[in-house]
Structures are given as C-alpha cells and as structure tokens.
A and B are shown apart, each in its own frame.
Chain A
Amino acid sequence: MSKPPQVDTAQIRARYPDVFNRPASSRLATPSMLVAALAIFAFGLVDLDFSPSRLISGLSQLGWISMMMIPPDPGSSLPLYLKAMGETLSIALLGTTLAALLALPVSLFAARNVVPGIVRFPIRRFLDSIRGVDTLIWALVWINVVGLGPFAGVLAIAVSDFGAFGKLFSEAIEGADQKQVEGIRASGGSALHEIRFGLMPQVLPVIAGQVLYFIESNTRSATIIGIVGAGGIGLQLAEQIRVLEWQKVSFLILMILIAVAAIDFISGKLRFAIIGRRAIA
C-alpha cells in the first residue's frame, strides 16, 4: 500500500494567503447571522409566552385529546357532514371558476407583452393587494355583504384567487412566443385577433393546468372558511371542536384528508390529460 503524499501545509498557506487568512468580515458573517437568528428566536419564545410548564401541560392535554379522538365516529350526523363536504367542494369549484373567468381579461392588462408599463404597474399592485389579504379575511368581508353561508365562501375564494390567477395568467402570457402574434399582425389582424389567435392558443393549456391545480388547493381553503361562518365543512369542524366532541372532530379531519386526496388524484389525471406530462412545471 502506498502512503498518501505528505502535504506541506506551511507552503500551501504561503501560496494561498487569502484562503487561510480571510478577513474577519467574511469569517464572521455566517456565525453572526446564526447568532442573530437564534437571538430573535429566543426573544420570540420569551415574548410569545413559551414556558416549559405550559408546553408540558399542553402536550399532555393534547395527548388526552388525541386519545379521545379514537375511534373517529360521526355519531348520527353523517348525512349532515356529507352535505357539508359537498358544499365545500361546490364552493371550491365555483370560486375557482369565477376567479379564472374574472382574471383572464385582467391578466391581459398585466402582461408586459400586451400593454405598456404604465397600465401594467397599477394593475399589478392592485392584484398584489388582493393577494396580500388572506382568504379568511375576504370571507369575513363577504359575510358582511351577503350574509352568513356558503355563498360568501364562493365569493371569498373567487376574490382571493382572482389576485393569484391574475399574476399567474399574466406570467403565462408573458412567457408566450411573440412570433405568432407578429404573424397575425402581419396578416392584418387587429389587437383582438392577435390575442385570440396568437396568444390564447399558447396560454390556454397552461392556464387550464393552473386552474385545475387551484381547484385542488382551494378544496383545502374551502374546508376552513367555514370557521368564520362562510359555509362548508369548516363550520361543522369549528363547532365540534368548540363543544369538545373529539370523535366527531377526528372523523371530520379524516373526511377532509380523504376529500383532498381524491381531488388531488382526479385533478392530477385531468391535468395530464389536458396539457400532457411535460408542461407541468
């Protein structure tokens, strides 16, 4: 066996001084960032009232709760829960569709290759502000307008997704190939023709994929907007948690998990059918 070659450390040190003697600023950057991150974390724990005793008593409480959750049991309210689940799915489907229909025209005005920057900027900020507000907050606003119930949920999802779709669609439009638009323009098409025959065929499959993906993620949001009173299974869930019916709670959570998994599966299949495997980013 050959011996590994001996390394003359001193010589290497002499040859690469800036590797071995880095300035303090670059050596200390990472540790000081870590210390700062940890300091904020520690401050947070103190400021947010974390105490070991609270944690331990809470965990034991949590242990009790999970014990009481077994076995999941809907009691006699299974039909009610199924109805609520259907309501949730309806909210997700309608909300997403409405959002997509509203966002498509607006997204054209937020795309760099369709309109000049001066129009784009305010529209983008408008979409950003809609997105900056959580779906639950929109649900509360709509409850004030149309009253409690699933309809408020539909509108809440529609509005908050409108912000997200506007951004995503406009990005899809910006990613489209300009050559086809130029072709339409060269043959004498109007601006509307350019959009209809040059842009839309390119972006519609992408948009369809995104809409399907959102229906799936909205099933998740739709399950919770009931917590503030906007209909669906969240309403039942929040009620059962408040009255400490833990078996019903675990049954409802199980229902949500199964529904989300089913929607995942179906929309995944549909997505592949519409846009093919490769187009999914």
Chain B
Amino acid sequence: MTIAVAILPEQQLAALNAAYRKAVARKRLRLLAGLALFVAALIVASIGAEVNLRTLFTYFGHFISYFDRILTLDSGQRVWTNFGEWFWGWHKWLKLLGETLLISYVGTLIGAVLAFLLNFFAAENTSPAIWLRFTVRRLLEFARTVPGIVFALIFVIAFGLGPMAGVLAIAIHSTGALGKQFSEIVENADMKPVEGIRSTGASWVSCMRFAILPQVSAGYASYALLRFEINVREASVMGFVGAGGIGQELIVAIRKFYYSDVSAILVTIIVTVFLIDITTGWVRGRLFGREART
C-alpha cells in the first residue's frame, strides 16, 4: 500500500509560502534586534569590567597550572600519593569544619525561629493589619537583599572577631529568606479551618496555632533544611572577613600560597557540602515524601 503525500498546486503553494515567510520574518527581526541589543550590552559590560582577552589567554595557563600546583605536595609528589602529608592538618581542619557546621546550624535555627514568628504578619491572608504586613515585608526584604557577608563585615566590627558575627549574619539572612518562603506557604494554606476556628470565638493566636500551623509545618521544615544546606556553603566563606569557621584557614592558605593545603581544605569543604546535601535530601524525603521537595 502506498500513500501519496498530497502536494498542493504551484500557485497555492507560493501564496502559502509567502504568507509563512512574512510571519516568520517579523519574529526573526525581533529576535535579531534583541540579540543585537544583548551583544551591545555585552560589549559595554566588557569595557566596564576591564575584560582583557589577551590576559585571559596568557594567564589561562596559570589557571591550569594553579590546579596543578595545588595538587602537588611540597616534595613534588602528587597529593594523592601521600594522604598523610596532604591532610597533615586534618585535626585542626575538622575542628574548624565543625565550627562552620555549628555556625550554620545555630544561624539557621535562629533565623527559622525569627522567620516563624514574623511570617504570619507578612502573609496576605493572616496578617492582622496592613501596615504591619507592609513593615514586616520590607524588613524581611532588607534582611535577604543585603548579602550575608556584608552583615558579617559590620558585625565583626560590632561584636568583635569570631564566629558570633558569622552566626548573626547567617541568622539575619536566613530570617529574610525563610520569612518570605514561609509566608508564601501560609498564603497557599486552606482558609476554611481558620474560619472554623474563628467561629468558635478563638483568638488570632489560636487560629494560627490550630488552623494554619498543622497545614504548613511540613513545608516549613522542608525549607529550613534547604536553607541549612545553603548556609553551610555560606558559612564556609564567613571566615574570609574574620567571622569564624574554615574560611579563615582557607583564605590564609590561598594568600600565603600553601598550595596543597588549599586543595586539602577545598576537598574537605566539597565533601562536607556533598554529605550535607545528601543527608538533608534524605531527611526531607523521609519526612515529607518526594513531592514536598522544591
């Protein structure tokens, strides 16, 4: 059996082709204009950022050789041939790593509690007053837009060097980020239970406690775990400005060209981030099933 593909007569085909080309031409023109604009922006940006391709090409070898150097021990051997030598400072590093984890844990917890206290005021459906919602929202926005490390820089001056500044910086940033996410969950919550509880004459606090909280707590925990994961990464660089954790050791190693130390600390950080990712992913899966993962 053969099926012939119907071919339209020449005239009709030409007309259709012309119409098609016209339709496509407009779209193509818009695309080209957008592209030209984008390329122009890139050129302006590359002048602004002092991009120098020649520098890149001359120094790209340095990038490769940098990795070559950080993977070489003082003795000239490759790092993995002598683990004892490579991770000579593991005792100190593990302790600092523990400090980093503790910084992010305490910071996340403080941030989550503050966000929990504030988010009901920020959500559209539960906030008791408009002015309150506006204020809380602006506050949260400020807390998450100013980068954590800027807070850390300021806190180091106010509270002195050390992990306390890092914890507070992470706590503030987490409050801002989690407050927004929490209030979005609340906004998606079903309001019928609230009406039910309010009809019994309950106060605002009871409404939140018995109608909203049971619906949203799983989502809260999920977001808080995700934030913890992000904060571990963030805490690993808090030491750059003197706010504690492993970052301090890393920046010293980089600045003083202790090459093999750099790679050892980097590997430690990467492995930790992996482990935290996997563990929190597993915990989230256990607690809320896979669909709660966002």
Contact = CB atoms under 8 A, between A and B. Distances in A.
B146 A257 contact: yes
Contacts of B163: 48-49
A45 interface: yes
Contacts, number: 163
A89 interface: yes
Interface string B142-165: 100111011001110111101110
B105 A40 contact: yes
Contacts of A224: 147, 149-150
Interface string B216-248: 000000000000000001101100110010000
A257 B158 contact: no
A210 to B, nearest CB: 15
B66 interface: yes
B106 interface: yes
A169 interface: no
Nearest to B65: A145
A97 B42 contact: yes
B266 interface: yes
B34 to A, nearest CB: 9
**DSSP majority for the A interface?**
helix
B210 interface: no
Contact of B240 (A132, A227, A244, A253): A227
Interface in B236-284: 236-237, 240-241, 244, 250-251, 254, 266, 269-270, 273-274
Contacts of A142: 63
Interface of A: 37, 40-41, 43-45, 47-50, 54-55, 58-59, 61-62, 65, 86-87, 89-91, 93-94, 97, 128-129, 132-134, 136-137, 140-142, 144-147, 149-151, 153-155, 220-221, 223-224, 227-228, 231, 237-238, 241, 244, 249, 253, 256-257, 260-261
B49 A150 contact: yes
A227 B153 contact: yes
Interface in B12-46: 41-42, 44-46
6 contacts: A48-B106, A58-B158, A90-B49, A134-B233, A134-B236, A220-B145
Contact of A94 (B51, B99, B158, B240): B51
A65 B51 contact: no
Contact of B147 (A40, A151, A223, A241): A223
Contact of B103 (A48, A91, A227): A48
Contacts of A50: 164, 167
Given A136-B240, A146-B55, A227-B240, 13 more contacts: A41-B106, A48-B162, A65-B154, A94-B51, A132-B233, A144-B62, A149-B50, A151-B49, A151-B52, A223-B147, A238-B153, A244-B157, A257-B145
Q: Which 10 A-B pairs have the closest CB atoms?
A: A90-B48, A58-B159, A90-B45, A90-B49, A44-B106, A132-B273, A132-B270, A61-B158, A48-B163, A150-B49
Nearest to B41: A93
B164 A49 contact: yes
B46 A90 contact: yes
A87 B48 contact: yes
Interface string B77-98: 0000000000000000000000
B213 interface: no
Nearest to B56: A146
Contacts of A260: 145
Contact of B237 (A136, A154, A155, A261): A136
A143 B146 CA distance: 24
A59 B172 CA distance: 14
Interface in B158-184: 158-160, 162-164, 167
Given A87-B48, A145-B62, A150-B50, A45 B106 contact: yes
B157 A65 contact: yes
Contact of A89 (B48, B60, B154, B269): B48
A144 B65 CA distance: 11
Contacts of A48: 99, 102-103, 106, 162-164, 167, 244
B142 A257 contact: yes
Contacts of B45: 89-91, 93-94
